Structure 1
């Protein structure tokens, strides 16, 4: 798949994203730079996925004076583990992740759920607020409106958005937040 570039609309940012097939798994990698909530950021993330779009692990690193990193792995059954192998029970029953600064992680449930038009699914996700590195369990709903068009709802906050995806299930636009430039 060719690289994707998203540009922030609500905040200043540019993201350069790639997704590569590695045989038995896929590797998503990205670099995002910009300014949000008056905080400059430079973030690199990697998400390792099974070929049926289950999140196996993710790694996030920020650069700069307050550099941080986070590595979390999954058993693919809704249990998550920190870099030392300790279970993070607060995220039990989460199969997907949602990284705040990127539209890519919306592709994870869209591709994994395989819904038909008119169908919806409620899921629990690990929401990662960046650049703060705050993690929380969030309830979300995805409804397939028609091919490549979905309604996303955050069931905890009441936020919703209509999202469009390309033929590969990668987001085109997140209205008011991010636009695909390449």
Structure 2
């Protein structure tokens, strides 16, 4: 079991994320609280991940300015069922990316297993929690060094060099997230 605390620099947040090894992958449970653009929010998410770090399901419970909005998704074969509806636009997407956390960068980092200098274009199921939006997004990961990845959101022309630990978890995501503390059970 690992517990990581991240501070959201842009989103003025604090995240408590627990990652547990399970028989068939990993279970992730996290709580994020913060304040962004005059909105106070609390987000609780659960993600179920296969051993290869591809997502198989998620649940997000958000409370923004007191209004609650649950989102649930599960993968059956290549299809994503989101809030009870099959979403053809998300078919075949192996990863989920949640806007308010650096944890979801760990899914492609660990799954792609890039060598230094290699890059890979991917599509992810992107959840913009504060705007209650779910869509497919094109991204690119380039491994720049042992613990450095250039992350690019291709649609927004955004990039950042993120630093990860030996397990692929974000330690520093410039201007967005920074690890504050961690606990690892032996």
Question: What range describes the TM-score normalised by the shorter chain of this pair?
Answer: over 0.9
Q: Which residue of 1 aligns with 2:42?
A: 42
Q: Which residue of 2 aligns with 1:102?
A: 101
Shift of 1:87: 1.6
Q: Which residue of 2 aligns with 1:178?
A: 177
Contact kept in structure 1, 2:20 and 2:28, CA below 8 Å:
yes
- 1:83/1:135 CA distance change after superposition, 3 Å: closer
Contact kept in structure 1, 2:2 and 2:20, CA below 8 Å:
no
TM-score normalised by length of structure 1? 0.94
| Structure 2 residue matching 1:58: 3-state secondary structure | strand
Q: Which runs of 5+ in 2 are unaligned?
A: 182-186
What is the CA–CA distance in structure 2 between the aligned matches of 1:151 and 1:75, rounded to whole Å? 31
What is the CA–CA distance in structure 2 between the aligned matches of 1:149 and 1:15, rounded to whole Å? 22
Structure in which a larger fraction of residues adopt strand: 2
| Structure 2 residue matching 1:35: 3-state secondary structure | strand
- 1:5/1:97 CA distance change after superposition, 3 Å: same
Q: Which runs of 5+ in 1 are unaligned?
A: none
- CA offset digits 1:125-144 (Å, max 9, x no partner): 11111222211211000011
| Structure 2 residue matching 1:132: 3-state secondary structure | coil
- CA offset digits 1:91-139 (Å, max 9, x no partner): 1232111100000001110101111111111001111112222112110
Runs (4+) of structure 1 exceeding 2 A deviation are: none
Contact kept in structure 2, 1:58 and 1:72, CA below 8 Å:
yes
Shift of 1:172: 0.3
| Structure 1 residue matching 2:67: 3-state secondary structure | coil
Asked whether 1:61 is paired with 2:74, we answer no
What is the CA–CA distance in structure 1 between the aligned matches of 2:92 and 2:155, rounded to whole Å? 16
- 1:121/1:76 CA distance change after superposition, 3 Å: farther
| Structure 1 residue matching 2:108: 3-state secondary structure | helix
Q: Which residue of 1 aligns with 2:76?
A: 75
What is the CA–CA distance in structure 2 between the aligned matches of 1:30 and 1:83, rounded to whole Å? 20
Shift of 1:76: 5.3
TM-score normalised by length of structure 2? 0.92
Q: Which residue of 2 aligns with 1:11?
A: 11
Q: Which residue of 2 aligns with 1:146?
A: 145
What is the CA–CA distance in structure 2 between the aligned matches of 1:11 and 1:60, rounded to whole Å? 17
